[in-house]
C-alpha cells in the first residue's frame, strides 16, 4: 500500500519492523500486530486533535498584501515582506511538524520533506497553500480549508480506530474457537485407537467432522469479512497491511485450514481402524 496515495490509503498506514514473525497458529502474533496498530492510531488521532485545536488559536490574515498611501511625491505602494506574509503559514507548518508528522513518517525510508508529509496527510491543496514558495497567506479561506482537511483526517482515523476494535474482537473470538478445536484434536491420541470399539471409533470420527465443520464455518465468516470495505479501503487490503510482518497474509484462514487438515488426517486414521473392525 503506497503511503502517499491518499485514495489507496485514506485512513492510516505505518508498519513498524521488517522481520517475519513465525508462530504455530499465527493468531497470537496477529493480535500483537493489531494491538501495535491500535496504539499508533490512537496516538495519531490525539496528535491530529492537538493540531486541530492549535489551528483555531491562529487568527487569519485579513488585510491586503499591499496597500497604497499618499506622500508629498505622489502614491507609493508598500508591500508586506514575504517573511511577514508567511509568518502564520510558517506557524502552521511548525505545528504540523510538532504534532502529526512523526506519526506519518514512521514507515518512510530516509527523510521526507515536510510539505510532502503534509500533502500525504491533507492533500495537494493544503500543501500548496502552506508552501513558502507560493508566498501564501493564512487567510480565512485557507484556515477553513485546513480545518476541513484536518476534520476529514480525524474522521478517517476514528473510522480506522473503530475498525481495529472490531477486528480485534473478531480475532479474539475466532482464536478462542480455534483453540477449542486444537484442544479437541490434540486430545485424540492415535495410539489409543487400538483400544476403542467400533461405536467409539464412529463417535470419534463424527466429533472430528464437527470440528472440521467448525473450521469451515470460521473460514466462510472470515472470507465474508475480508471482502467488506472500510472507507475507500477493502478489508482485504487492510488485513494484508496489518499482518504484513507475519509469515502468512491471512492468519485466521491459515490457522483454520491447518486445523481442518489436522482433523482430516485424524479422521483417516479413525476410518482405517473402522475398516479393520468391519
At 153-196, the pLDDT tens digits run: 999 999 999 999 999 999 999 999 999 998 888 777 777 788 88
* pLDDT for residue 63: 60
pLDDT at 14 over 90: no
Task: Give pTM, 2 decimals.
Answer: 0.77
β-bridge mates for residue 67, sequence order: 78
Residue 231 confidence (pLDDT): 67
Query: Measured on CA atoms in the order 13, 16, 20, 22, is the torsion positive or negative?
Result: negative
Task: List, for residues 45-70, the tens digit of each pLDDT value.
Answer: 999 999 999 999 999 987 654 444 44
Of the two residues 33 and 66, the one the predictor is more confident about is 33
Mean pLDDT of the chain: 82
Percent of the chain with pLDDT over 70: 80
User: pLDDT for 203-252, tens place per residue?
Assistant: 999 999 999 999 999 999 999 988 887 766 778 888 888 998 898 889 99
CA distance 97 to 114: 7
| pLDDT of 73 strictly over 70 | no
Amino acid at each position: 500500500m503506497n503511503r502517499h496515495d491518499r485514495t489507496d490509503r485514506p485512513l492510516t498506514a505505518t508498519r513498524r519492523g521488517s522481520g517475519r514473525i513465525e508462530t504455530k497458529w499465527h493468531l497470537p502474533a496477529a493480535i500483537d500486530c493489531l494491538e501495535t496498530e491500535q496504539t499508533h492510531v490512537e496516538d495519531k488521532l490525539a496528535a491530529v486533535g492537538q493540531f486541530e485545536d492549535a489551528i483555531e488559536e491562529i487568527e487569519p490574515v485579513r488585510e491586503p498584501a499591499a496597500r497604497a498611501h499618499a506622500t508629498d511625491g505622489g502614491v507609493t505602494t508598500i508591500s508586506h515582506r514575504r517573511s511577514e506574509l508567511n509568518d502564520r503559514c510558517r506557524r502552521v507548518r511548525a505545528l504540523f511538524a510538532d504534532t502529526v508528522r512523526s506519526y506519518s513518517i514512521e514507515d518512510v525510508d530516509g527523510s521526507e520533506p515536510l510539505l510532502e508529509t503534509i500533502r500525504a496527510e491533507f492533500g495537494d491543496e493544503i500543501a500548496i497553500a502552506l508552501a513558502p514558495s507560493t508566498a501564501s497567506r493564512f487567510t480565512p479561506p485557507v484556515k477553513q480549508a485546513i480545518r476541513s482537511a484536518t476534520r476529514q483526517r480525524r474522521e478517517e482515523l476514528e473510522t480506522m480506530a473503530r475498525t481495529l476494535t472490531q477486528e480485534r474482537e473478531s480475532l479474539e473470538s475466532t482464536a478462542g474457537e480455534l483453540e477449542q478445536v486444537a484442544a479437541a484434536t490434540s486430545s485424540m491420541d492415535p495410539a489409543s485407537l487400538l483400544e476403542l470399539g467400533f461405536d467409539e471409533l464412529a463417535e470419534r470420527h463424527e466429533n472430528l467432522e464437527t470440528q472440521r465443520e467448525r473450521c469451515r464455518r470460521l473460514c466462510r465468516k472470515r472470507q465474508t469479512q475480508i471482502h467488506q470495505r472500510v472507507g475507500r479501503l477493502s478489508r482485504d487490503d487492510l488485513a494484508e497491511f496489518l499482518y504484513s510482518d507475519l509469515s502468512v497474509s491471512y492468519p485466521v484462514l491459515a490457522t483454520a485450514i491447518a486445523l481442518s487438515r489436522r482433523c482430516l488426517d485424524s479422521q483417516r486414521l479413525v476410518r482405517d481402524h473402522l475398516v479393520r473392525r468391519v
